[in-house]
Structure 1
Amino acid sequence: MNQRDDAPEIARASALAAELRSLVRKLRRRLREQADSRDLTPSQAAALLRLEREGPATVSALARGEGVRPQSMGATVATLEAAGLIGGEPDPNDGRQTILSLTDACRKWISEGRAARHDWLTRKIEAKLSPEEQQALAKGVELLKRIADD
């Protein structure tokens, strides 16, 4: 098969990619609307999610994980601490360091937000899609998993 024969498939894949990116952005925006975001910046949200996923960490470890300077992460951490979302304890191995972790209030807030987003999406799927369309969506989700799981 030559390049000319591949052109329609490439054009179709490119159009699908553009449409999918747009749809994912719209869905993310709609999901964010369903839960209290507390107006977190992307870097604040990323730091919280990293602490949730990976557990307690120092400012330096968070900065390395997010690819930012420790000074920048320090400002992010200070805001999150002031909001009561994270707290710190002295590092037992190095008293100069502080080990940061999510507060119980933050864990509850994250859990409630996820539940609200899940509930909204469940209700939309149930209300807007027939059982047959839900089956088609399930097949589409499997295809998207194949794309996402390199």
Structure 2
Amino acid sequence: MPIPIQEVSKLRGLIFKITRVAKKQQHDLPFSATEMNIIGHLDRNTELLPSAIAELEHISAQAISQCLNNLAKANFINRITDQNDKRKTLITLSAYGKTKLSEIKSLRDGWLKKAIDERLEAQEIDLLSQLIPLLEKITAPETKPVLP
């Protein structure tokens, strides 16, 4: 049985609301939303070229340069010359950036855990835990069939 569009809309809205409230549980960092997104991309990808980050964020080379400069001034990123192509510079999170990101994640996870523990009954927490694999399945990258 397909899910009604009204339920899909409600689910999307609630996921967005959880994300928005969780993002407020962060340190007082002087970064824009785009800069925080860049930190997230670097956390998931280890190292990226500035052009790849610009493409992921759908912003210009000039805008990505400004964002990377702000992150570098705050010691959040490293710029490393690509050993295969000396003309290219790879961007990685610095040790300090990784530490601060870990603190942010811990704060956000702590907020969500507290909200779950305080507002849900044990049976509801079990049900929520059972939803995690389903949400992972929904958000997994689509795989294209391999043609023979």
Is the shorter-chain TM-score for this pair beyond 0.5, marking a shared fold?
A: yes
RMSD between aligned alpha carbons?
Answer: 2.4
Q: Which residue of 2 aligns with 1:6?
A: none
Give 1:83's match in structure 2, choosing from 74, 77, 80. 74
Question: What does residue range 30-109 of structure 1 map to in structure 2 within 5 Å?
Answer: 30-36=21-27, 38-109=29-100
Alpha-carbon deviations, 1:102-149, whole Å to 9, x = none? 111110011011111112211221222111111222233344334334
Q: Which residue of 2 aligns with 1:13?
A: 4
Q: Taking structure 1 as reference, are residues 139 and 95 closer, same or farther at Cα in structure 2, changes over 3 Å only?
A: closer
Shift of residue 90 of structure 1? Answer: 3.3
Which moves more between the two structures, 64-73 or 117-126? 64-73
Which secondary structure state, in structure 1, belongs to the residue aligned with residue 75 of structure 2? coil
Which ranges of structure 1 fall in alignment gaps of 5 or more residues?
1-8
Q: Does 1:126 align with 2:117?
A: yes
The alignment covers a number of residue pairs equal to 141
Q: Taking structure 1 as reference, are residues 133 and 72 closer, same or farther at Cα in structure 2, changes over 3 Å only?
A: same
What percentage of residue pairs aligned between the two structures are identical? 24
Give distance in 1, aligned partners of 2:126 and 2:84: 53
| TM-score, structure 2 as length reference | 0.78
Shift of residue 49 of structure 1? Answer: 1.7
| TM-score, structure 1 as length reference | 0.77
Moved over 6 A (4+): none
Q: Does 1:24 align with 2:15?
A: yes
Which ranges of structure 2 fall in alignment gaps of 5 or more residues?
143-148
More helix by share: 1
Which moves more between the two structures, 102-111 or 135-144? 135-144
Shift of residue 94 of structure 1? Answer: 4.2
Shift of residue 32 of structure 1? Answer: 1.2
Alpha-carbon deviations, 1:75-118, whole Å to 9, x = none? 21111112221122333444443332211111001101111111
Give distance in 1, aligned partners of 2:119 and 2:57: 38
Q: Taking structure 1 as reference, are residues 136 and 76 closer, same or farther at Cα in structure 2, changes over 3 Å only?
A: same
Q: Does 1:114 align with 2:105?
A: yes
